[in-house]
Structure 1
């Protein structure tokens, strides 16, 4: 089944919100297509806040990062691929995304990508523990 890109994005966003909620975070998606983070989450006691960028893909594919790495922000990045058949999440820090980014150049235009062989590794796969708990189990 081929899903529209907006639906793929929504599925990845809400999958991420679900997983964070299971970890005890109070989760709020931000405005769709706004520049910046996609999810704001805060701990149960309100003392800890995190911002999460979510990139959702319909299959195992490169993640487009844009013309510069300036938009790589937040506290964590969650890449969710295969959202319609078997969602798999990869949890990275923005520093790690910048470190692993591949710089491409075509016809004089520069773009940055995160290749699947860079993010689809055991270190990041399902590594929700990198974010930690939002409840008293922190």
Structure 2
């Protein structure tokens, strides 16, 4: 069996979620994944003294792909968004604010259906790449 099998979307999401939990834990945060596929944030992290809480949405991708944002931008919530691409091979994380996600979102329309996407060129900025310090330390 290959060390990096082709992951289905649910496993890709799990890898991205737990990768983010791992990285945040190393920064001193207590992290709790929320119910999967529930509306809202994917991770609640709180500082050791419980004085600071952050809600994080995670978007995990198997490749360098656009991020699907759904049919409206009202699901863009939380304190931070972490986009992790190439999760099974060489994870790269991009830490963004929800306002930065909505500002850069592209609106697509196909056969009368509207969808929003974040293109790789819109999230792969040096400002966001591995910018875990934007979240800060939980210790």
The TM tier, using the shorter chain, reads over 0.9
What is the distance in 2 between the residues matched to 1:61 and 1:123? 19
1:125 aligns with 2:121: no
How far off its partner does 1:120 sit? 1.0
Task: For residue 70 of structure 1, give the secondary structure of its aligned residue in structure 2.
Answer: helix
1:23 aligns with 2:27: yes
1:66 aligns with 2:70: yes
What is the distance in 2 between the residues matched to 1:105 and 1:6? 26
What is the distance in 2 between the residues matched to 1:97 and 1:108? 23
What is the distance in 1 between the residues matched to 2:64 and 2:28? 29
Task: For residue 76 of structure 2, give the secondary structure of its aligned residue in structure 1.
Answer: coil
Residue aligning to 1:79: 83
User: How high is the TM-score relative to the length of structure 1?
Assistant: 0.96
Q: How does 1:31-46 map to 2 (within 5 A)?
A: 31-46=35-50
How far off its partner does 1:122 sit? 1.0
How far off its partner does 1:86 sit? 0.3
